[in-house]
Amino acid sequence: MTLYRTARTALRSLSRNPMRALLTTLGIVIGVGAVIAMMEIGVGSSSAIRKTIASMGANVLLVLPGTASSGGVSFGSGSVMTLTAEDAEAILRDCPSVRNTAPVVRARTQVVYGNRNWVPAVMYGTTPAFLDVRDWMDLAEGEAFTDRDVLNANKVCLLGQTLVRELFGGESPIGKEIRVKNVAFRVVGVLSAKGANMMGMDQDDILLAPWTTIKYRVTGSSLQSLNQSSSSSSGSSVNTLSRLYPSAGVQLYPERSETQAADQPMPVRFANIDQILLAARSAEEIPTAVEQIKSLLRERHRIRPGDPDDFNIRDMTEMTRTLASTTSLMTNLLLWVAMISLVVGGVGIMNIMLVSVTERTREIGLRMAVGARARDVLQQFLVEAVVLCLVGGGLGILAGHGGSYLVWLTLGWPVESSPEAVAAAVAVSASVGIVFGFYPAWKASRLDPIEALRYE
Amino acid sequence: MPVLVDISLRIQRGELVAIMGASGSGKTTLMNILGCLDRPTSGQYWLDGQEVSGMSADQRAMVRNKKIGFVFQNFNLLPRTSALDNVAMPLSYTAGDLSQREARKRARDVLARVGLAERLHHEPSQLSGGQQQRVAIARALVNRPPLLLADEPTGNLDSKTSEEVLGLFEELNREEGVTVVLVTHDPHVAGHARRTIHIHDGRIVGEPPVAHKEGIFEKGGAP
C-alpha cells in the first residue's frame, strides 16, 4: 500500500467524523499555538533587549594601555603609552571577530562659545568609526567628520546634546566656531540624544573631534595631567606649529629652542593614543575577539612569552549576560509550559485513537479479510494520528502567529517571527503523532481478523 | 475439544456448494479455514495448487486479497463511505499496480455487474439491505477472485431480496465461472446450490471421502 493511498484512506476515515477529529486536534492546536506564540514573543523581546544593550555598548571592548611602575609604585592604568593608532588599524585588519575600531585620545578642557563656556565630561579625539562602534550613526543635525579630517588634523568637531544646550541655547550650532584651548573648532554635526548610561553618567555631555586634532592641537599629551613623572616643559607661548607635535616626556638631548623647532619640525614616528574602542561582531564573539586582540597586540608590541601584557582589555559582557540570561530563562520556562500542553494534547490523541480502534474493530477485521496485512493496518492508524497532529500543528502555527500578532497589536510587545519555532512545531507535532499514535495502531494491527469480524 | 474432526473435502473449480449445519456444528470454523482466516491445527489445505496451512499471516493476507472474496451476513460495509469507495477498498491493498482511476473504473464496472450502476455515490445508510449486500458482493468480486465465500449471505434479508441475492450468486457462478461456497443453516438457501455438504458435530455427513488429490480446492483431514 503506497503512502499516498494510506494518506488518502486516513483522510477519508478522519472525514467520516470531522467534529471529533477537530476536537481531538484542539489539544495540539493549543500546544503548538502556545509554543509559537511564546517563541515569537520571547525572541522578539530578547532581540529588543539585545538591541538596547548593544546601543549601551554591550559589544564594545576597550583596550587600555598597561601600567607603569617603578620601585613597587604603580601609576595605574594608562600611565605608560603603549598603544598607537596603527594598533587600532591592525586590529581591524587582522581580527575577524572585530567589527570596527576607533582610537581614542582623551582631553578635559574648557569649551567656549561667545560668552558661554562649559567643560564637557568627555572630550574624545577619535575617527568617524567611533560612531559606528558606539551605535551612534544617526546624527541629530549635520554630518560626521571624515577620515580626511583625521589625516589633516582639521579643526572640526561633533557636539553632544548637553553641550549644544549649554553653549548654544536654542540656536543651531552647525557651522559655528567654538574655542577649545584657544583652538577654533568648526561644529559640523550634532549627535543624537543617548541619555544617561548604566552608571547614571550623562552620555550627551560629549565633544568628538579628529584624534590628530585633539592630540596635536589641543593637548600635547593627555598624560601631562596624570603622570607626575613627566615634566611640564615647553611652557612657552610662541605661536608656532609646536602644538602639532607631542611634547617629549624625557629629554635625551638639549631642548631645542622654539625657533629651531619652528624651522625644522621633527617628524612624528609614534602617535600614542589613550585607548582603543572597538566593537565585536556580536555579543557571542566577544571572547574570541579578546583572544585575537590579545595575541595580535602581544606580537605587535614584541612581548616575550611569559612577560605580562602592556595593555588591558575590558568588556561589558557581564551586563549583557545577565540581561540575556534573564530573557532566555523566561522563554525557556514558557516553552516548557507549552511543551507540557503538547504532551497533554498527545495523550488526548492517543485516547481518541484507542476509542477509534475499538469502534472500528469490525472495519479492521474486514480490511484484514480482504487482504490488509498487519503492517498496512498499523500504517493506516499511525498515519491517521500523524495527520491529526500535523493538521493540528498547522492550525496551531496560524493560531500562535495570530496570537503573537494580537499581542503586538494590543500590548505593543516586540514580536519577531521565528522560522526555527515553526520547524520545531511541525517536527514536534509529527513526533507526538507517531509516539502517541503508535500504541493504538499497534493494538489495531494485532487484532485477530476472525475475532474482529465477529465483534459487536 | 476440536471443532472439526476428520474433514476430507474437495471442491472443484466452478462449483456452487452449500455447507449446511446447525449452529455450533463447526461450519463457520470450516469457512474460516477455507477463507484462509484461520489455520487447521493439523492437516493440509490446498487452494489453487498452494498449501495454505503453512503460510505466514502476511502471505495468507495476500492469498485472501487475490483469490478469495468474502460476503458476510451483516454486509460489513464502511459507514459514511460511498458504495464506490467501499468496493474499491480491497484494491488499495493490492500492490500499487492500479492507478486511482483504474481502480475506480473497475469498482464502477463491478457495481454495474451487480446492478447498482445508479447507486455509485450512495452511502450504506442510504441503501436497502439487498442493495448493501450487492455492494458487499461487488467488493468481494473487485479483485476477480476465483473463489467467493458467503457466510449466511441472506441472514439479514427478507425472502424476496434473498432470492435476488441468491440469483446473483447463481448467475456469477454460471456466467463467470466463479466458485461459490455458501455457508448457511437454511435448507432453502442450500437448495440453490448444486451440491450440499452437511456438517454435524464437526464431521461431514453424507459425503464420500476424498480418495486422491486432484482437485483445485481441497481440504485435507483435520482433527
Residue B61: its chain A contacts at CB < 8 A?
Answer: 368, 371-374
Provide the ipTM.
0.90
Q: Give which of B67, B73, B89, B92 to mutate to test A binding, by max A Cβ within 10 Å.
A: B92
Mean pLDDT along residues B195-201: 89
Binary contact (A363, B139; C-beta < 8 A): no
Residue A383: its chain B contacts at CB < 8 A?
Answer: none
Spell out the SS3 assignment of chain A.
CCHHHHHHHHHHHHHCCHHHHHHHHHHHHHHHHHHHHHHHHHHHHHHHHHHHHHHCCCCEEEEEECEEEECCEEEEECCCCCCEHHHHHHHHHHCCCEEEEEEEEEECCCEEECCEEECCCEEEEECCHHHHHCCCCCEEEECCCCHHHHHHCCCEEEECHHHHHHHHCCCCCCCCEEEECCEEEEEEEEECCCCECCCCCECCCEEEEEHHHHHHHHCCCHHHHCCCCCCCCCCCCCCCHHHHCCCCCCCCCCCCCHHHHHHCCCCCCCCECCEEEEEECCHHHHHHHHHHHHHHHHHHCCCCCCCCCCEEEEECHHHHHHHHHHHHHHHHHHHHHHHHHHHHHHHHHHHHHHHHHHHCHHHHHHHHHCCCCHHHHHHHHHHHHHHHHHHHHHHHHHHHHHHHHHHHHHCCCCCCCCHHHHHHHHHHHHHHHHHHHHHHHHHHHCCCHHHHHHCC
B residues 34-93 near A, CB within 8 Å?
A: 35, 37-38, 57-58, 61-62, 64-66, 70, 72, 76, 78-81, 85, 89-90, 92-93
Residue A5: its chain B contacts at CB < 8 A?
Answer: 92, 96, 100
Mean pLDDT along residues B144-173: 91
A450 interfaces chain B, CB cutoff of 8 Å: yes
Instruction: For residue B77, give the chain A residue with the closest CA.
Output: A363
pLDDT tens digits for range A167-198: 998 788 999 999 988 889 999 999 998 887 76
B162 interfaces chain A, CB cutoff of 8 Å: no
Q: CA A437, CA A439: separation in Å to the nearest integer?
A: 6
pLDDT tens digits for range B64-86: 988 999 999 888 999 888 999 99
Judged against a pLDDT cut of 70, whether residue B25 lies above it is answered with: yes
User: What's the pTM value of the predicted model, to 2 decimals?
Assistant: 0.66
Judged against a pLDDT cut of 90, whether residue B137 lies above it is answered with: yes
